[in-house]
């Protein structure tokens, strides 16, 4: 790993604190998450027979193991313990929220990224209702196996995208060990290894949601005056859909009804609520707790409604290195750093082979 990584360890060794949780417990938890569905259903019945216990409450069954409606799910996910200390040895995890239409073309790359770090991450997949990750070509030992949440149809540019984001957040909030929440797409890839990403996010004092206002048709021009007085024109914000938030902010986003109702009613048509709802909400409610930037690099230089897409012919070690250290400087916990992007998109499936070859060199996983 080259370059200065803002004072936190960039080696493959996670800090001793996070490994205080016994390896036996981590292995047991991972095995529970990846057992075949029949065994997991037996585990569900066992919990029902034993009644409610702490383990089943703080580490619930896999996401498809509930039949809650969105309203029930959001209510359940909004619960926050008032006792600060946990009655068990809690290891903070990063929840990776995959918002996809169907197959995950970079699943093999992500599997290498996650390998060896069981117990420090969680995976949740929101796909089209008729798609099933467990019945696809994904192995039962994959971190993606059995991780698809109860999903609904999603239309690009509509409030249903916000619904899917909140659904992912809410399902991840059911696991009390999830501390950071990252939204990614099927065309997104990591540009640093897992230890670097984990330390960066778990130790961050802020969340990473891009939020800005510009006097152009694609930003300020989308504001609907009917949103007032809840959202005034000067409070209107836009940002990348691909966010990263802390547990506290995730709970607030899932719990919000006031601003969500305003966006559902007035952010249509051609308003693209997925680009405005969370940036505007956090600006109104949690401004200082947001770094006001994204950790996912994307190239909009070509213009148009969609960013540039990179395939086999353009993805090289030099290209990824330019993303990792492209001359941009940002703040991390109040100090300047050149490590601003941990992930990148959009990548075409044809880039998989090249990216896999780079995992043993530049990407270091």
- pLDDT (tens digit, 9 = 90+) per residue, 175-203? 999 999 999 999 999 999 999 999 999 99
More confident residue, 15 or 152: 152
Alpha-helical runs (H) found in the chain? 23-34, 37-50, 54-58, 70-77, 107-114, 159-173, 194-202, 247-255, 258-266, 277-285, 317-324, 352-358
- Give pTM, 2 decimals: 0.84
* Other beta carbons less than 10 A from residue 322's beta carbon: 12
Q: For residue range 72-106, list pLDDT tens digits in order.
A: 999 999 999 999 898 989 999 999 999 998 899 99
CA distance 26 to 177: 12
Question: What is the percent of the chain with per-residue pLDDT over 70, rounded to a whole number?
Answer: 83
**Structural element, H or E, at residue 185:** strand 178-185
More confident residue, 17 or 310: 310
Q: What pLDDT does residue 30 have? A: 43
Q: What pLDDT does residue 45 have? A: 56
Q: What pLDDT does residue 208 have? A: 98
Ordered structural domains, the chain, with CATH: 16-81+89-358 (3.90.550)
Residue 7 has pLDDT above 70, yes or no: no
CA distance 210 to 223: 17
Q: For residue range 316-337, list pLDDT tens digits in order.
A: 999 999 999 888 899 999 999 9
Edge-first strand order for the sheet with 343-344 is 189-190, 343-344, 296-297
CA distance 211 to 235: 10
Site of tokens 């995992």: 359
Q: What angle do CA 194, 27, 60 make, to 5 degrees?
A: 90
């Amino acid at each position: 790993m080259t370059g200065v990584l803002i004072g936190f360890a960039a080696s493959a060794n996670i800090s001793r604190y996070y490994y205080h949780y016994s390896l036996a417990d981590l292995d047991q938890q991972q095995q529970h998450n990846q057992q075949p569905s029949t065994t997991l259903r037996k585990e569900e019945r066992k919990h029902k027979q034993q009644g409610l216990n702490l383990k089943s409450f703080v580490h619930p069954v896999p996401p498809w193991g509930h039949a809650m409606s969105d309203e029930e799910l959001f209510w359940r996910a909004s619960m926050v313990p008032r006792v600060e200390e946990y009655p068990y040895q809690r290891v903070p995890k990063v929840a990776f929220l995959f918002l996809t239409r169907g197959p995950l073309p970079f699943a093999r790359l992500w599997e290498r990224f996650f390998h060896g770090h069981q117990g420090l991450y969680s995976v949740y997949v929101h796909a089209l209702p008729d798609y099933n990750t467990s019945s696809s070509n994904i192995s039962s030992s994959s971190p993606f196996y059995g991780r698809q949440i109860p999903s609904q149809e999603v239309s690009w540019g509509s409030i249903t995208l916000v619904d899917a984001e909140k659904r992912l957040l809410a399902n991840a909030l059911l696991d009390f060990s999830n501390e950071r929440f990252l939204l990614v797409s099927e065309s997104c890839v990591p540009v640093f290894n897992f230890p670097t990403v984990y330390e960066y996010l778990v130790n961050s004092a802020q969340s990473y949601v891009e939020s800005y206002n510009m006097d152009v048709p694609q930003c300020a021009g989308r504001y609907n005056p009917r949103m007032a007085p809840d959202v005034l024109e000067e409070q209107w914000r836009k940002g990348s859909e691909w966010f990263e938030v802390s547990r506290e902010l995730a709970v607030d986003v899932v719990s919000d009804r006031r601003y969500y109702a305003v966006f559902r009613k007035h952010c249509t048509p051609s308003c693209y609520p997925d680009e405005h709802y969370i940036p505007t909400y956090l600006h109104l409610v949690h401004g200082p707790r947001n770094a006001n930037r994204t950790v996912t690099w994307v190239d909009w230089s070509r213009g148009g409604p969609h960013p540039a897409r990179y395939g086999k012919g353009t993805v090289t070690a030099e290209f990824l290195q330019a993303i990792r250290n492209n001359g941009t400087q940002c703040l991390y916990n109040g100090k300047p750093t050149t490590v601003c992007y941990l992930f990148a998109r959009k990548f075409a499936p044809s880039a998989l082979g090249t990216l896999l070859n780079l995992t043993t060199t530049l990407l270091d996983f």
